[in-house]
Structure 1
Amino acid sequence: MIEKITSHTFTGLFKSKSIQNFIFLITIQASNIVITLISMPLLIQGIGVDQFGLVNLSLSVIILANILVGFGYNLSGPREVAIYQNDKETLSQIVSNIVFSKVLMALLATLGIVVSIFGLNMFKEYQWILLFSVLLLFSEATLPLWFFQGMEKMKLISIANIFSKLLYLMGIVLFIHAPESAKWVNFIMGASGLGINILLLLYIHFMLEIRFYKPKFVQLFSSLKDNGLFFLSNIATHISVNGGLIVLSFFATAEILGMFSLAERISMVLRMFPSMVIHSIYPNATKLLKEDLGQFVVFLRKAYFSTMIVALFVSLTTFALAPFIIQLLAKTRFEESVIYLRILAFIPFLACLNIANVVIFLGRDQKELMFRSSWILLLFMLPVCFLLSYYFGGIGLCYGLLSTELVVLLICTVLNLMKNRDIIRAFWKGGI
């Protein structure tokens, strides 16, 4: 297997659209992380620690609302675009339906936040900060990342993302100098993203000759209905992956939560790796599956086993360097954080084991299988993590999170054997 992987020339490897997609997705995530690290001390100095916490709390609410805005189009959109890359008429219908559907969801989410603030008097400490943050919902709604993923042309949007983040950073430097300006922080982020996204949509319209239609209500409803299972799957997956800290908060002290949170944040950054691989390869995988099952199997095997080698290296390296990583980020050595990180270091590797299953689900547009697997996982994750956290604290939660990755692998494999036995057999045999 290693010989097959290394037999590709270095230049040829980077000519692969899937590899290019992956590199540009990494560029997007890396720029987001770097800008966050640069902006944090500027914001703390400008608005103070307390207001900084409220800004981040508002951002957390918006991130949850963005699951509604995205409505699963991050999964279905690239597939549809990949299939109809050369059919501009159909592509115009797809793009119009998705953009208008996401904008509609952003309007509904905004209405929900406004009613919560002024009707139910919720979010008392940060109502105005949250209200000014709703522009981020429309930034998410107009972000055409799914389109460029499907077209396998990620270069432009990665550059646009970097430019957007630089505009945000410039806005902080120019306008955020006092605690009362805290409400403008997320607004500036949303305005920067929305402005760049509108330019990208104009590029799609004028340069790529994709027309924007005003969809009929029936079309919008049909599009949202088709994506409902993906939306529900995203909710369950989000809770399963990101709900660990909330579970631990019922049983642990603030000190333990802090040390676990430090290790978990590192593992969550690493866990982006399998997700980025899936988003990079599945547009091309979808086309191959539709045209030639044999070529699809060859492509998926190469991507899968190459990813496994990289993921294992990343997990082992994180395990070995855990003390150094914690020391570097915390400026002191928290032994418990080191223990947590060494356990959680293997989450990216275990998550990568499931890449082939997920790509097959997406390639065949099997929303119901995604829905089943994600909600069965959630029903397993919550009680198991609660029990292990109750009896063993942070270490118990770490093992609970590891077990969820193994269980979702088992669930997805069983579902694939039931519904996609032909592909699974071909995949493990190495061909049809």
Structure 2
Amino acid sequence: MLEKLGLLPFRTFIRNKSIQNFLFLAIIQSSNILITIISMPLLIQGIGVDQFGLVNLALAVIVLLNIMIGFGYNLSAPREIAVNQHNKVALSHLVSNIFSGKILLASLSTLIILLGVFGLDLFKEYQLILVYSILLLFSEATLPLWFFQGMEKMKLISIANVFSKLLYLMGIVLFIHSPEHSHWVNFIMGFFGLAVNLFLLFYIHTFLEIKFYRPQFSAIWLSLRENILFFFSNLTGYISVNGGLIILSFFARAETLGMYSLAERVVMVLRLFPALIIQAIFPNASKLFKSDITSFNSFLWKVYLRVLLFGAMIAASVYFAAPFIIRVLSRSDLTESVMYLKLLSPVLFLSCLNIPNITLMLVADLKRLLFKASWMMCLYMILVTSTLTYLYQGIGLCLGILSTDIAAYIICMLLLRKQNRKLYNGFYK
């Protein structure tokens, strides 16, 4: 057996573009998580718990606006880049229009913040922090992740992401020492993110020979119209995934919120895995779907079965290791948090169920179907989770989240079967 394992073409395995995409995307996400974990105690010690909460509140507003800036390009752009990999002229026009569109959206988002702060006197407790966070909008607008993902060249951007996060961590250590410095926290993150992104744009122009043309406003407007359903899909998906804690805040006391949020942090890390898989296989899947539908279905089935097996193993590991995980994160035995984490441990496996349905919708450019599935899932999540949380509080929320993942799989599969029977039968039969 060992001899057979030794004969496996490991180098060929590592050179697989989808495997490389997944690994580098995993590096990006894991570095983000690691830097967040390291920076949290440093920030709390430097600016205090109250200001730390306001910094995160401002960041939540920015993240919501970043969904508008992304405007579905994270889903549509990699496919367009992938199918035009060898056409420098088409790539140049695509890149120019997408960056121009995102910068326009970032400018609009900036205007919304400034109008809210100085015109309507909103966000009173953290106005200064929010204004200094505006740089994060342009950091998001200039992030070329979608380009490197479509080109299947993820190594450079993964290194650049780690470097920018390390610079951010260094900035916290050097400059954030008192509550009066709280407005610089998100500014530092945005500044270093934007600086690294501009270096990546220089690399794209100089070494990959991609030209930057003047924006074609008609093409930008057309792409925004085409992506509007992706945007609403992302928005409803964000609410479905991140809305649980907000719902719980209406029905539970602060202690329960704290216990649940600790378990939720672990679950949020697990939830990254299915998204990483879809992003990693998307460029190759798009090319196979266009050139050879049989090879596409075979490729997707192989990925699906392996992901389900891996998801089941990780879910079981989290269930049995829940007491240890909570003890490491909190440095104490929190029985209620352990219970929530055990209840939520199947989330990874259940969210993996929907990978082929989402991939089929993306490669076939079924934006309306994806949007319809997203808002149905969001509506189900709000209604069912709110009811269960009202009746059973934290336990009800966990059950609602699990049922939402199951409902999402059923909704997507039934919609796909109804709207595009040929595509559905090609994969499932």
Compute the TM-score of the two structures, normalised by the length of structure 1.
Answer: 0.96
> Which residue of structure 2 aligns with residue 34 of structure 1?
34
> Which residue of structure 1 aligns with residue 186 of structure 2?
186
Unaligned runs of 5+ in 2: none
Question: Which amino acid is 2:154 matched to?
Answer: M
Residue 250 in 1 paired to residue 276 in 2? no
Kindly report which structure 2 residues correspond to 1:235-314, keeping only aligned pairs within 5 A, or say none. 235-314=235-314
Question: Which amino acid is 2:219 matched to?
Answer: Q
Q: What percent of counterpart residues are identical?
A: 57
Partners of 2:357 and 2:78 in 1: CA distance: 17
Question: Which amino acid is 1:255 matched to?
Answer: E
- Comparing 230-239 and 45-54, the one that deviates more: 45-54
Residue 209 in 1 paired to residue 209 in 2? yes
- Comparing 118-127 and 414-423, the one that deviates more: 414-423
Deviation at 1:289, TM superposition (A): 0.2
Deviation at 1:13, TM superposition (A): 1.7
> Which residue of structure 2 aligns with residue 332 of structure 1?
332
Q: Secondary structure at the match of 1:171?
A: helix
Residue 405 in 1 paired to residue 405 in 2? yes
Partners of 1:160 and 1:391 in 2: CA distance: 47
- Comparing 93-102 and 188-197, the one that deviates more: 93-102
Q: Secondary structure at the match of 2:211?
A: coil
- Comparing 218-227 and 193-202, the one that deviates more: 218-227
Q: Secondary structure at the match of 1:48?
A: helix
Unaligned runs of 5+ in 1: none
Deviations 1:286-335 (CA, angstroms, capped at 9, x unpaired): 00000000110111111111111111111010011111111111111111
Partners of 2:213 and 2:307 in 1: CA distance: 40
> Which residue of structure 2 aligns with residue 396 of structure 1?
396
Partners of 1:410 and 1:68 in 2: CA distance: 28
> Which residue of structure 2 aligns with residue 125 of structure 1?
125
Deviation at 1:428, TM superposition (A): 3.0
Aligned residues: 425
Deviations 1:269-295 (CA, angstroms, capped at 9, x unpaired): 101000000000011000000000011
Partners of 2:260 and 2:8 in 1: CA distance: 41
> Which residue of structure 1 aligns with residue 417 of structure 2?
417
Deviation at 1:370, TM superposition (A): 0.8
> Which residue of structure 2 aligns with residue 48 of structure 1?
48
Q: Secondary structure at the match of 1:324?
A: helix
Partners of 1:235 and 1:41 in 2: CA distance: 30
Partners of 1:69 and 1:403 in 2: CA distance: 31
- Comparing 278-287 and 172-181, the one that deviates more: 172-181
Deviation at 1:50, TM superposition (A): 1.6
Partners of 1:249 and 1:274 in 2: CA distance: 27
Deviation at 1:7, TM superposition (A): 9.8
Alignment check: 8 A CA contact 2:143 2:197 kept:
yes
Partners of 1:159 and 1:239 in 2: CA distance: 30
Q: Secondary structure at the match of 1:301?
A: helix
Check 1:130–1:350 CA distance in 2 against 1; reply closer, same or farther (3 A cut).
same
Question: Which amino acid is 2:297 matched to?
Answer: V
Cα root mean square deviation, aligned: 1.4
Compute the TM-score of the two structures, normalised by the length of structure 2.
Answer: 0.97
Partners of 1:178 and 1:392 in 2: CA distance: 41
Kindly report which structure 2 residues correspond to 1:47-66, keeping only aligned pairs within 5 A, or say none. 47-66=47-66
Alignment check: 8 A CA contact 2:58 2:126 kept:
yes
Check 1:423–1:8 CA distance in 2 against 1; reply closer, same or farther (3 A cut).
farther
> Which residue of structure 2 aligns with residue 73 of structure 1?
73
